Structure 1
Amino acid sequence: MTRIPVTEPVPAGAQRPRTLAAVALLGFGSGLPVALSFSTLEAWCAVSGLSLKTIGAIKLVALAYVFKFLWAPLIDRFSLSPLGRRRGWMLWMQVGIVVVLVLIAGLSPQTSLPAIALLAVLLATLSATQDIAVDAYRADQLLPRDRGLGAAFGVGGYRVAMVVSGGLALILAGHYGFRFAYLAMAALMGVGIVGTLVAPERRAAKESAHSLVRAYVEPLREFLVRTKAVQWLALILLYKLGNAFALSLSSTFLLRGAGYALSEVGWVNKVFGLAATVVGAFAGGLLLERWSLRRALWVFGVLQGLGALGFFAIALGWQGYPALVTAVAAENFTSGLGTGAFVALLMTLCDKRFSATQYALFSALDSAARIFVGPVAGWIAADYGWVVYFAVSLACALPGLLLLAALHGQFARLDAKSSTA
């Protein structure tokens, strides 16, 4: 490993189209391995006849995505190649992912489960590390006016890759077997590698830390000494809480609570819902080019808070296919709007010296909110019914909006800081 070089940043305005294209390709590369170490691997184990307990235990291989912040400072502290501070990490992780996918393709859960489990842990770790580097690259490289659109390109690429590795991979496995499917996914990782190779990268303005210990301590200390740091952390935790609560059991509600058929839920809630999310993210990104970040967070926060009204109406008795399409479109489109603004906020909050570490911490906080809302959502739905469940999801949007009001005066300072980045 080499120390991060001390060089002056170069202007990136002329490289805008190339940067945005690279962000989309890198988003695809980030999303592709996720299902391959999770839902697609689960399906392979299921059709191989493994027990439910074994399949449940296999899901633990994805814990790397939860704890990735623990090694994020390494991405800030070291550079792995002359390609650049972030691109070196991305390229080595992508090559490692390809190798691991090829190795998994040569095994079978029936005869080599321990080896597959170990390789799946390695796959998740390499993928999580790639995510750290890609997130940091976006935070470092995108100009303030491009963060909303950059977030949309990244989210769009990521979601498409999730469909490919979670849907197309199963179709390929059904026709040609899981070994072929994993080899095909290894080949498609070339999309992410191309993104790394074409991505422009400005050099770091200065070293992020003089020692590994400081690489862990300084990012947290730098953030905590900011004005209203605790309120910013609370906003990260709560801004998308209502949206996360509503989506937590949406499929279960549509199947069991509303009585829709599995095929209807599959096509509308998954495929159409994905498209609505991507469209929402791009719409939000385009609006962020014209609006301030504070205005976008307010407008999109209100809209995503009201996004569950369609599900609420179905719980009250609205029925039929148009009700399903309308509810799914509203929830997922407004979710895409909010996600674009939220990702732009996380990039803006990062200090470029520590963007890998700080973004990993912020995203871990957001993930924790979505993970822990699950048991609470299940308890409310089971004990109080779906009407109360969606009423609570609507109410959960209020804390984030109240925090936006409390931080109103801080956005001018944040925008001023971003304009000099």
Structure 2
Amino acid sequence: MNARTTTLPDSETRTTVTEAKTAGETRPATLAPAATAHGAPRPRRSRRLLSVFALLVIAGSALGGAWFWQVGRFLQSTDNAYVGGDIAVLSSRIEGDVTRILIGDNQPVEAGQPLIELDRRDWQAKRDQAAAALAEAEANIATFAAQRAQAVAQVAAAESQVAQAEADRVFAVTDAGRAGSLASSGFGTREAVDRTTAARHKAEATVAVAQAGLESARGAIPVLDAQAKSALARRDSARAMLALAEANLDYTVIRAPFSGVAGNRAAQLGQHVRAGQNLIAVAPPAGQLYVTANFKETQLRRIREGQPVELTVDAGGRLHGTVQSLAPATGAQFSLLPPENATGNFTKIVQRVPVRIAVDAGQPVDHLRPGLSVEAEVDTRDDPHAPRSVFGVAAAAIHGR
């Protein structure tokens, strides 16, 4: 029979196993406890480790609770936030054919830079026609001015004729009176009386004719003044038509309204476009983008303008921002079909209010694009500059702040 001794490790003790081997079987020997390596029991060390672990858990819980009470409960966050930008979708204001495309997709542009040109020949002809109508209206005004000056001269001539006729009438009346006196005293003839009387009547008729001519000349001036006003109105109308024609001619060139990046080009060379048809869009540069975060109505109680915001962009990077403004109503009120809760069954849904967040300057924002998803976290504490991290809160508590 052969015997073999085997040592088995255990968490607290060691046991020696002796096996006896015979020709046909193996028989385990009696198990005997063995002493530890250093002769001291291990349960005491395990209890110390458990105590240290319990103290760490308690300290961590206290630290976490203090952080939540001083910081965490004031942080309002949402993942319903997106990068926004005032994108200008440019459309044609006139009808025409696309003759030139001066910019490619996704290329930067400057304010006022030409992007697309339309055929300008028809609009050039209309502009020339409007310019000719304005010239004609101005010529009519000059004609009426000359006619009025002529009418004023005619009035002066008529007044002279009236004065001359009045002088002839006075002489004729005096001559007729003198002839009548001579005839009544026997020194004059009846013929002289008749002749001077006829001359007096003729002079009086001449005065009446001269006065009628004067009134006629004077009456022509208001007519000419009215016609001159009509000519002025036609000139103003022609001038407005010329301005409109020049504006339409200028609309044949579609320009960038501000500096940015061109994109979403729908215009094709030779395409016939109509007024109001979208041709190209210009997005603002990254430095002019902002974030719109849709917070729940239950989160708005402490959110105010000017509070700092931590922005986490899904495309990568963390940015700092500032609450710029809150929308005057919930997003549902600005939808195409606002809800009407007074009809039908009512199911209460937590509403969201758009909050506009400005991205602070001096940060790398070249990777931002309108529409990117963002996570926003607003610090609503009274002192947003107070320590925010767990260790910062702990240090402030130690220093009694």
| Range class of TM-score, shorter chain | under 0.3
Higher Cα Rg: structure 1 or 2? 2
TM-score w.r.t. the length of structure 2 is 0.18
TM-score w.r.t. the length of structure 1 is 0.17
- Structure with the largest fraction of helix: 1
